[in-house]
Amino acid sequence: MNNYRIFRALLGWLVTVSLFSAPRIPVEDFAREPAASRAQLSPDGQRLAFIRQHDEINKLHVTVLDSKEISRLNLGSATLANGAERELGDYSWISNQRLIITTVIWDNLFGVLATNWDGTQSAAISGMEDGRVSLQDSKLWSREVIHRFNDPGQHVLMLDRREDGYGNSARPDVLKMDTTDGTWTVAVKNPGKVSHWSTDSDGVVRLGIQTSGEKTGALYRENEKAPWRTVLKLEKRPDGFSPIGFEPASERILLKTQTAQKRGTIAPLDPNTGVIGEPLLADPEYDILPERFIPSLDGQLLAAPIFSRKKDKLLGVRYVTDAPRVTWFDPAYSRYQASVDRALPNTVNLLVDTSLDGKRLLWFGFSDQNPGGYYLADLEKRTFKPVLSRMSWIKPEQMAPMLAITYKARDGLLIHGFLTVPVGHKPEKLPLVVMPHGGPWVRDIWGFDPLVQMIANRGYAVLQMNYRGSSGYGQEFFEKAQRQIGLQIQDDIEDATRWAIAAGVADPKRIAIMGASYGGYSALFAVGHNPELYRCGISIAGVTDWLGLYADTDVAESQAARRYWTEQIGDISQEKDLLKSISPLNFAANITAPTLIIHGKEDRRVPVNQARRMIAALEKNGRKPESLILSDVGHNYGREKPRTEIFKRIAAFLEKNLGPGVD
């Protein structure tokens, strides 16, 4: 795998600086919807599905590869409360002719349907697509496909996960679904403690992972008629595990588990002995397969096993360290990788899909400066050609490089991050935008980010950090963030800023902080507690009142989510004073720097009332913020029009309050 110019830096830099500065690129170019995204091959390799905007709505398109005929699927014009129109959320092929599609309202799941690739013979599968008006009335709530039979009957196996209050989402049954009409039968009834199911390549459910509190175990059967037997007793295991697949030829089950150093990995389970073998691939610093958040780019998972149904085996693994990588166990695919890397030397190149017969391979090539594109390798015809470009109007040579960095937090913990430097400039005394990620249990990754590139194109460096609790750095790193919101997590963010000053990267008098969701909270916290560090702050969909959030968010509707929040953030019944003290709403009087608050009216994750109350609190203290409250936007940047407006307001706010960026 070519590593594509990934650099590590602490206090010294070895950077080849361009002899020219990038021209000022219109904000609209960064905010535009990709011309094509999230591509997938049909099982026979004859068609390519992708998402493209039409009439300001993302819609599914399918092209016949050998003829370049394109069909656009119309989901209909169902209009719901507040004039919202349901639209495409995600999709996957389930046969050569048919696809499963999830539909959303803003960024909230609405339902699931199946349709032929040309848009004919649509059938409601679950959720509110069946015409019911509420989740309580819905006949089924099932969206996870765990096996595609690719048979004339268009059957799949799905998990029945009805939401908390309407069923037991943590203990799913397995359904055999007829996608032509939405009828189903129970293929496997959950005995009561199974949280994960796994099938073999023929669609026989063979493995069930049991969970009970901190205890885990496993049930197994040799075939569909064999009785279930316990291969791992239900007991407390510090590493935990979940199934990722079978290898019938080697008679082993592959599990996602942890190494002795508590790093996510893949290990084989012998179903005859119950022995979990040595990891197939491990890294001393990073998770190969994270337990929680799986990073992705353009909808393509960057940490995932790569299986071949033709060979019935594990071919390799995609994973993320300081950049996306892949390790191949199959020599043929290792050779394919080498050939593609020679053809595309300036990008990270990932195999993202294959036809069932293994003759057609879909590759995704991208970098920090290149939004990426899709390429088709036809092994039979011995051809390799581009098939889709995501953002052809972006010129990679005009984009800013994203450098991998590390620094030490005040307690000695090593933190990883990225520094994006404006084109044509050394990382010295630059105006800086500190950008903590959301979550907080996710992570930033190396790759093309339109917002980061827009800010860098305006002449500002951008500093991102994967503070404690970020996914991908092992269990201990995650646990260090437990109940540290507003405490050590915030220290890590402050320490990143002070590192940039000490390293000479940042002009200490020209530093801003901005973020979205949890990152928006962090920005407000920072300007309230470190006024000497930050000239201004921007909060996008940020939390301002933790007590209010526990009551108002869509997470409050989920019992499992509330338990998780109590464990990771704090217990609302016992720690009200702490949660109040770390809520920006309650220290608004301390925020003296200019602030910009951006929020969507349809945000259910962090309701817009959080922003409105914060604006009122700042105004009460004589610090009226700039604000942008957007209709038809949920917990994201919305469609192209509101996203453009957001990007423009950010650029204008930074220029006004941080000063012009470097030329």
Alpha-carbon span 646 to 548, nearest angstrom? 25
* Strand-pair category, 595-600 with 626-630: parallel
| 387 vs 542: CA distance, rounded Å | 38
Q: Which tens digits make up the pLDDT trace of 535-560?
A: 999 999 999 999 888 877 766 556 66
The structural domains of the chain, ordered by start, are 293-396 (no CATH), 399-657 (3.40.50.1820)
Mean pLDDT check: name the lowest of 53-57, 507-511, 560-564.
560-564
Which residues, at least 6 apart from 282, have a Cβ–Cβ distance to it below 8 Å?
259, 263, 265, 288
Task: Determine the residue type at 277.
Answer: G
Q: How many residues does the chain have?
A: 663
| CA–CA dist 392, 376 (Å, integer) | 17
- The position carrying tokens 């599968």 is 125
**Mean pLDDT calculated for residue range 375-385:** 97
- Residue 7's pLDDT band, with cuts at 50, 70 and 90, is very low
Question: Could you tell me the CA-to-CA distances from 110 to 125, 164, 279 in Å, in that order?
Answer: 11, 16, 39
The letter for the amino acid at 263 is R
Mean pLDDT of the chain: 89
If 0-12 CB within 10 Å is exposed, 13-18 middle and 19+ buried, where does residue 411 land? exposed
Q: How confident is the model at residue 67 (pLDDT cuts 50, 70, 90)?
A: confident
- For the chain, report the end-to-end CA distance as a whole number of angstroms: 35
Question: Which of 470, 447, 245 minimizes the C-alpha distance to 350?
Answer: 447
Lowest mean pLDDT among 43-52, 59-68, 386-395: 59-68
- The alpha carbon of residue 76 and the mean position of all alpha carbons in its chain are separated, in whole angstroms, by 28
Does the pLDDT of residue 145 top 60, yes or no? yes
pLDDT band with cut points at 50, 70 and 90 for residue 138 = low
CA 8 to CA 107: how far, in whole Å? 36
State mean pLDDT over 616-635. Answer: 94
Most confident listed range (3-17, 320-334, 552-566) = 320-334
pLDDT tens track for 579-588: 999 999 999 9
The CA distances from residue 636 to 5, 540, 544, 618, in Å, are 31, 9, 17, 24
Peptide bond into 227 cis (omega under 30): no
Q: Please give the Cα distance from 112 to 89 (Å, whole number).
A: 9
Cα 433 to Cα 460: distance, rounded to the nearest angstrom: 7
CA distance 542 to 631: 17
Q: Is the pLDDT of residue 3 over 60?
A: no
536-560 as b/e, with b when 16 or more CB fall inside 10 Å? bbbbbbbbbbbbbbbebbebeebee
Helix spans in 606-639 (H): 609-620
Q: Which residue has the higher pLDDT, 610 or 167?
A: 610
Q: What percent of the chain has pLDDT over 90?
A: 70
Q: How confident is the model at residue 491 (pLDDT cuts 50, 70, 90)?
A: very high
pLDDT band with cut points at 50, 70 and 90 for residue 168 = low
Give the number of other CB atoms < 10 A from CB of residue 135. Answer: 17
Q: What is the pLDDT of residue 84?
A: 65
The reported pLDDT for the residue numbered 117 is 92
pLDDT at 166: 46
- For residue 135, the model assigns a pLDDT of 45
